[in-house]
Chains A and B, each alone.
Chain A
Amino acid sequence: GENVEQHPSTLSVQEGDSAVIKCTYSDSASNYFPWYKQELGKRPQLIIDIRSNVGEKKDQRIAVTLNKTAKHFSLHITETQPEDSAVYFCAARTENTGNQFYFGTGTSLTVIP
């Protein structure tokens, strides 16, 4: 089955700097890659997603890039703010396993004011 790896597991940045979180996947049939933000004790919230026919997608301060050849995708957060502090999860969905999603192990991001 699909295997999603996520790095780093923890990340600290100064307010205003950029943060980058990277994920790799193993199944070339994976075609949809969402990113979730989870604050302590709350539900994971979808923040951005990308499909396999697109190389990059941007929404204000967040962007996601996808390299299908290398089987990796990254989350970029620019001009970080303290409220960006949370755990971020990447995920991959593979068409041939129906609607099953495979999650990375999460990155705990701390933005230092």
Chain B
Amino acid sequence: AAGVIQSPRHLIKEKRETATLKCYPIPRHDTVYWYQQGPGQDPQFLISFYEKMQSDKGSIPDRFSAQQFSDYHSELNMSSLELGDSALYFCASSSGQSAQFFGPGTRLTVL
């Protein structure tokens, strides 16, 4: 069965650079979520989209933005990167009454 796809899987950036993470949800899933997970921490909800509209906002910094496109893929844009942004970034998708299914994550390292 198709799963959530994330790219890239690994990303290394310098401080103050920008990064763009991509997420392709499971086909026919209408909701996309973004999470940030630091070492030894639980996933922190950043933002979600339902049918291409932002549906909820969590602890997403102002330096980050996200959108969902007409083909339902989503991108998380991160600017002015800081050392503390180094983390695993997960995208998840769900539909109606289903659970969230997570992608493999993007490991971002900021040097």
Interface residues of A (CB under 8 A from B): 32, 34, 36, 41-46, 49, 51, 89, 91, 97-101, 103-106
Known: A100-B56, A105-B42; 8 extra A-B contacts, CB below 8 A, are A36-B102, A43-B104, A99-B50, A99-B96, A100-B55, A103-B42, A103-B43, A103-B45
Interface residues of B (CB under 8 A from A): 30-31, 33, 42-43, 45, 48, 50, 55-56, 88, 90, 94, 96-97, 99-105, 107
The B interface is mostly helix, strand or loop, or mixed, namely strand
**B105 contact from A32, A43, A46, A101, Cβ within 8 A:** A43
Quote the shortest CB–CB distance from A97 to chain B (angstroms): 7
Contacts of B31 in A (CB 8 A): 98-99
B42 and A104 contacting across the interface, CB-CB below 8 Å: yes
